[in-house]
Amino acid sequence: MDQIDQTGLQEFIPACASWFPLDRYKALAYFEQSSFFAAAGRDANGQTVTINNTEARLAGLDPAVPGVLESLPPGRPEFVLETSQEPSAFVIRKQVRVSANPLERPVVHAYYYIANNKIMQAPSAHQVSHARLQRCTFALQNGFARLQADLEPLTRQAKQLARQAATEEQRQQQKQKQQAQQQGLQAVEGQPQHTGEEQGKGQGLISGAAGGPT
């Protein structure tokens, strides 16, 4: 049995204003006048579904009285007043009993509540979890965006310092290269140079040594 999602709806029935203030018996009857109850009377294909509450009313019984719904056949949807805080708050449970055994737990399809005479469907556990995950995701994204905004000046400064360090290192390497080249030129210029006179004296010494006595 498909459950129609009506969590976005909120209903107030002015025709039942004479029933206020509500008690646990009138609250269930008030709910049975709503579109939530009417939607439960048809399946996804629009076919009529028998509801035990309606069958009890047709038999002149009040489904809010304990034991009335339990006396009807299982396997059909029924609405039970689970808890109440008269006259302002009531919780109604939609369920299907799988067997006539009262000890076997029924299958719960939805929860509804009446708050200050307004009828609403309670969100499912999946919807609540999904909504909380969405809020957590939004908070994380917002936090990361703020963190990125706070770190952006520091990141920009770090990049600028890295570029300055790289430029300074290149400058130092160029300076060391220039100093090495200058030292090489000075070493070449500092070697002794032989003049023409010194070369003549050297040749004379060689010639004299060659013409001397043997």
Q: What pLDDT tens digit does each residue of the chain (214 aa) get?
A: 566 677 878 999 999 999 999 999 999 999 999 999 999 998 888 899 999 999 999 999 999 999 999 999 999 999 999 999 999 999 999 999 999 998 899 999 999 999 999 999 998 555 445 445 556 666 677 766 776 777 778 778 888 888 888 888 888 888 888 888 887 777 776 665 555 555 555 555 455 555 555 4
- For residue 148 the two structure tokens come to 């990125």
Phi–psi pair at 77, nearest 5 degrees: -65, 145
Phi–psi pair at 81, nearest 5 degrees: -75, 110
What is the predicted pLDDT for the residue at 185?
76
What is the predicted pLDDT for the residue at 93?
97
What is the predicted pLDDT for the residue at 46?
85
Structural contact between residues 91 and 98, judged by C-beta atoms closer than 8 angstroms: no
- For residue 140 the two structure tokens come to 């994380």
What is the predicted pLDDT for the residue at 3?
64
What is the predicted pLDDT for the residue at 130?
41
What is the predicted pLDDT for the residue at 181?
81
